[in-house]
């Protein structure tokens, strides 16, 4: 084989160099082909692995987004429930305050006024009774407001 190589190259090599070159070329070609195969396999594996990791990342992202949306829906449901309770409590408080105000107005309207034509004369009024009734209404309203605050 060394003789063929020396003829192909047109060189006059010593026999030992031609034999060495004759063995080195096929070994180098074999090593290069093995290296090329390894590089090809590595490149294909890298591309396939990259695609696989992208798919896994997309699946993980989809799971995270789904969990976040579920949490968001639950939070919105909780906010809606709290809003309904607060609105109901506000309505009850509004009704109670209007009732107490109406009772106070009725109590004031029920008190006798002055006699017609005589501004200095006053009909005897039980001032202590009116004051006690108004104080009782105020205490009742305060108690109701404290109960509404405790419910929140």
Buried b (16+ CB within 10 A) or exposed e, 93-124: beebeeebeebeeeeeeeeeeeeeeeeeeeee
Q: How far is CA 121 from the centre of its chain?
A: 72
Which whole number is the average pLDDT over 61-70?
Answer: 94
Residue showing tokens 């009116």: 130
The more confident residue out of 126 and 29 is: 29
Q: Please check the confidence at residue 137 and state whether its pLDDT lies above 70.
A: yes
Which whole number is the average pLDDT over 140-149?
Answer: 76
Q: How confident is the model at residue 127 (pLDDT cuts 50, 70, 90)?
A: low
pTM given for the model: 0.41
CB atoms near residue 18 (< 10 Å): 20
Q: What percent of the chain has pLDDT over 70?
A: 73
Q: What percent of the chain has pLDDT over 90?
A: 26
Which whole number is the average pLDDT over 121-131?
Answer: 64
Which whole number is the average pLDDT over 67-82?
Answer: 95
Q: How far is CA 108 from the centre of its chain?
A: 55
Size of the chain in residues: 152
Which whole number is the average pLDDT over 78-103?
Answer: 90
Q: How confident is the model at residue 40 (pLDDT cuts 50, 70, 90)?
A: confident
Q: Please check the confidence at residue 93 and state whether its pLDDT lies above 80.
A: yes
């Amino acid at each position: 084989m060394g003789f063929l190589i020396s003829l192909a190259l047109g060189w006059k090599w010593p026999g030992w160099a031609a034999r060495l070159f004759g063995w080195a070329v096929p070994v180098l070609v074999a090593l290069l082909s093995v290296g090329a195969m390894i590089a090809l396999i590595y490149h294909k594996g890298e591309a396939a692995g990259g695609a696989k990791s992208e798919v896994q990342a997309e699946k993980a992202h989809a799971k995270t987004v789904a969990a976040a949306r579920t949490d968001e829906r639950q939070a919105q449901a909780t906010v809606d429930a709290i809003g309904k309770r607060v609105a109901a409590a506000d309505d009850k408080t509004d009704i109670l305050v209007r009732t107490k105000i109406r009772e106070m107005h009725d109590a004031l309207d029920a008190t006798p006024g002055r006699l017609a034509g005589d501004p200095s004369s006053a009909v005897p009024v039980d001032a202590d009774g009116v004051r006690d009734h108004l104080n009782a209404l105020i205490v009742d309203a305060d108690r109701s407001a404290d109960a509404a605050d405790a419910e929140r």
